[in-house]
Structures are given as C-alpha cells and as structure tokens.
Structure 1
Amino acid sequence: MPDASLHTSGSITFGRHKKRMEEEAGGPMASELLCRTHKRKESGEFVSEKAKEVVESYEQQLIER
C-alpha cells in the first residue's frame, strides 16, 4: 500500500503536531489533526483516497456517538 505512508507533516512527528494543536485550541483535535497530516498543503486535497475515507469514517463515528 504505497499511499499508507504518505503524510504531509514533514519532519515534525504526529505526536508533536497533536500536542501543538491541542495547546492552541485548548482541547482535543483528533479530526483536525488527521486532516492536517493527510492533506497536501498547496492544494488542500487528501494525499490518497484511502486517507479521505479514513477521515470521513472517523468523523462519522464521532457524529454517531
């Protein structure tokens, strides 16, 4: 699965991005973190169809809870 390793966070770890975003927002940012690390900066498009499906599925699960 070549798309599985595509992230757009550069050399900053996923955990560090999460911590920074939560500090800025004052709370959990899971959905936003997934979008930030799985979308291309220049176009705003997801890096793959699989990444888009995962984010949409996660957001739907949050709505259902």
Structure 2
Amino acid sequence: MINLMGRVGDRLLAVFAPKATAKADLTFYKFCFCYDGWKYAQRCDQVAGQSYCGPCEFRGTGC
C-alpha cells in the first residue's frame, strides 16, 4: 500500500513539477590574434545555450 502511494505521488509530482535541469553559465576566452608578441583574445559568455562575445582585447604577452 505504501509502495502504491509512493508511485502515485511520484507521478503527480512529475506532472505538476517537471524535472529541473541545471545549466551553468560559462565564461571563456577565445583567441583572436597575436601582434608583436602581444596576445589578443575576446571574452565570451555562454548563458542558456547562447554565446555572446565581446571585442578582441589585449590579454597578455607570449605568443
């Protein structure tokens, strides 16, 4: 009896509260180019499956 109630409760929960999926936001740098030993890259953010990248900016030396 308790097992039956548990299954019914699980089904009701699945109908009224769909499973949550966690999608983490992500930040990464995408290489653009090197100029006189300086490295330029653009910062990209991935939010909800969409990627948005900013302009190419100086990110350091050592190309």
State the TM bucket, normalised to the shorter chain: under 0.3
Q: Give the TM-score taking structure 1 as reference length.
A: 0.24
> Higher helix share goes to which structure?
1
> Higher strand share goes to which structure?
2
Q: Give the TM-score taking structure 2 as reference length.
A: 0.24
Task: Identify which of structures 1 and 2 has the higher relative contact order when contacts are C-alpha pairs closer than 8 Å and 6+ apart.
Answer: 1
